[in-house]
Structure 1
Amino acid sequence: MHKINLIDHPVRVDKKAFLNAVNAQKPIAVTLDGEILEADGELPARPYIFVGKPRSLVGRGLVKPTPLSQILGESYEVKDEGDHISIYAGRAWEELIKANEPYYLYQDNTSEGIAEFTDSELDEHIWYSCEFGINCREVAEMLEKEVEGTLLCIETEKPYNFAGCAFVDDIETARKQSFDFIRAELEKKIASGEIDTEELEEAEEEALKYFGLL
């Protein structure tokens, strides 16, 4: 996976296209590549840095105009840099999570770690593998190394803090990699004697059958 830390990763968009989208006062979505999409209906499954309706540059009635810097909300910083607009989303984690909830595979953060996968098949893998101590963290770290996708995060060093969400380009590949990884880890545990196939609890036996090892 390609890791993108939004603390130091502004997203550049075409200035004319952005201002046209803002002035239209309709919901938009902005991708990591700076593409602007209409967000009235279902969006393609990919990472977004903003999904919603921009504020108004002009204002109307009692509503004051919004400066360009805050046109996407107070958590974002928007800068006019000549022929393009730069969007800084390093303080907009809550907005990012909400925008990407339908699309990410898992969330990860310093305090809670990885609780679950949003894909039901991958989550089923963990349901069985956790009988032998193989958890979401181990599978996620493997996916980050082996599968094409994006790890979108906000990471700071002092004090250290991490909040991220991961997207895979091909869910079928991720499912196969997960299954094969867990199966291989279980085979190692059986070969070393850590798992005694003659002394299994019912849930352990069911888990090994699930991975084709009994």
Structure 2
Amino acid sequence: MTVSDQGSPQKPRASIDDPDEFLHHHTELPTTRLSQWIDGLMTAIGKGASWAWVIVTGFIIYAVIGRYVFGQGSVLLEEMEWHVAGAGWLMGMAYTLVVDDHVRVDVLHERLSLKAQGWVELFGLLILLLPFLGLAIYEMVPYAVNAYSVGETSQAPAGLSNRWVLKAVLALAFMLIFLAGVSRLFKVTALLFGIPRPIAVQSAPNQEEEAS
């Protein structure tokens, strides 16, 4: 920690010699009531999706034992592995945006002030992320509906039926990321314009006593 001329502590900026700080840097945005609700929902979904990897591991173990111990392979089981893995990965993407733990390859952003970072976030959300997600949702929903209407199944003779389920998960994942992007947009506008009104962070009792 360093101390500014006014005597207030300042968090040191990440140096280029500290790559871990660059990978896990978080822009400290204020939260709002709506963004708090959306973030809670995305967090619950993301943590729930993490159990998909336990299921996938079970499928893999079962398939290996079946193939190499009993000499019985299963196309259905193999397709279940990548279907569940894909669904788990897709449903967890919104969570990474909520916790701001996606990889940022930007050495300039980290050196800007908080408000400057907020302006970068604002233009990035409005010009790049949200329009892209809107287009993806526009394309993915008919993609899933068409797969359901034609009764699309696996091309493998013994593969999975109802392929529309995974395509519906793809559309749903983009919707969740869009919601996470809206939540982040509210935080940015709260920082820059005070709209919506940010939620005040209450200090712990011992911190208030020390301040007094």
Category of TM-score, reference length = shorter chain: under 0.3
By percentage of residues, which structure has more helix?
2
Provide the TM-score with structure 1 as the length reference. 0.24
Output the TM-score relative to the length of structure 2: 0.24
Which structure is higher in RCO with an 8 Å CA cutoff and minimum separation 6? 2
